[in-house]
Amino acid sequence: MGGSPLLLTIMITLSAFFSETESTSFEIVNNCNYTIWPGLRSTGSSLNLSTTGFTLRSGASFNLSVPKSWTGQVWGRTLCNESSTGNFSCFTADCGTGKVECDGNGAIPPATFAEFELNNFGSGVDYYDVSLVTGFNLPMVVEPRGAGSNHCISSGCSADLNGDCPKELRVAREGSQGTVACMTPCTAFNNSRFCCTGEYSTPASCSGTVYTDYFKQRCPKAYTYAFDLTPYANQTTFTYSCATANYSVVFCPISLPAETQAETPAKEPTVSEQVPSKSKNHTIMIASIASSAGIIIFILAVVAGLWSSRRKRQQG
């Protein structure tokens, strides 16, 4: 008798996880006054998208249907061209394929990117954020859209850091005026203090620096460094989560939606709170759980943990 509710929960969880009939819509918008080349990469075992890279002219938008449990990244390449031999490359955020499609490759830093974990472990809750952990190349924001998204917070950076990037972090390009990207101090100096490695590999030992303060001040609603625990980016409180929404990914947004909206805390997901902290780590994401077998075992463990803790609560 005791086993059947457990079995039922497992069945429900698994069927929710594998149900890919529903999909989420992404609207990718280029508000920059120059052409960009968005790149998309699926991570973990999630399904591939119908495109991994395309051209998006100034003022244009592109709609994309994304599987309900997709995990991955979206970024924007700039200053791209094709050589006379047909080799396509970009000065910022290139993916190194020699063509417009990124075919599973990620962006070469520095690159602003959005990361998504849709329908996290079948919970119905999406996690997302705009990250500057590999640096900045253009302003970008992720805005939840549609029914049920009114309490969800947009993540991103509407400021153009290329204009005031600290001198030692600037990336310039011969022939173009000004800065075209802004490196992280880790990339620029490659030392453990700025990279949060070695003796600085814990949140307590790798608190902010003058550089992280700069990124945070300019982009309060972006995830700016490995142990970013500032209010909007707080990894332990799931600031950027939303149940059943579609998303606009906007490059060079005019500005982020009003801060007052951000003051409303996101609805706390109940199931995902129980997911071990590993899944909450934006930098690790789900990529580490590569095989479906691993995922099934993981879900079983989570469900079993949930069930037994519920039982304990009922007993106690």
Ligand X SMILES: *[C@@H]1O[C@H](CO)[C@@H](O)[C@H](O)[C@H]1NC(C)=O
Q: Contact residues for ligand X (CB under 6 A)?
A: 25, 27, 33, 48, 61, 63, 79, 81, 87, 89, 91, 98, 103-104, 146-148, 190, 229-231, 234, 236-237, 244-246
Q: Minimum distance from CB of 6 to ligand X (Å)?
A: 30
Q: Minimum distance from CB of 230 to ligand X (Å)?
A: 6
Closer residue to ligand X (CB): 201 or 308: 201
- Residue 131 to residues 73, 112, 115, 246, 316, Cα–Cα distance (Å): 10, 6, 7, 19, 42
Q: Minimum distance from CB of 142 to ligand X (Å)?
A: 15
Q: Minimum distance from CB of 88 to ligand X (Å)?
A: 8
CB atoms within 10 A of CB 114: 27
Residue nearest to ligand X (CB): 146
- Residue 132 to residues 80, 89, 137, 184, 286, Cα–Cα distance (Å): 21, 22, 9, 8, 19
Closer residue to ligand X (CB): 9 or 55: 55
Closer residue to ligand X (CB): 237 or 283: 237
Provide long-range contacts, Cβ within 8 A and 24+ apart, for 175-180: 176/79, 176/91, 180/78, 180/79, 180/91, 180/92, 180/137
Closer residue to ligand X (CB): 9 or 187: 187
On whether the CB atoms of residues 52 and 41 are closer than 8 A, the answer is yes
Q: Minimum distance from CB of 2 to ligand X (Å)?
A: 34
Q: Minimum distance from CB of 163 to ligand X (Å)?
A: 9
On whether the CB atoms of residues 152 and 245 are closer than 8 A, the answer is yes
Closer residue to ligand X (CB): 55 or 230: 230
- CA angle in degrees (0–180, nearest 5) for 82-83-88: 40
On whether the CB atoms of residues 69 and 20 are closer than 8 A, the answer is yes
Non-local (6+) Cβ contacts of 83 within 8 A are 89
Closer residue to ligand X (CB): 9 or 48: 48
Both tokens of 133, joined, read 């952990």
Q: Minimum distance from CB of 197 to ligand X (Å)?
A: 8
Closer residue to ligand X (CB): 190 or 217: 190
Please name the residue ranges forming H helices in the chain: 3-18, 185-189, 192-195, 210-218, 259-263, 292-315
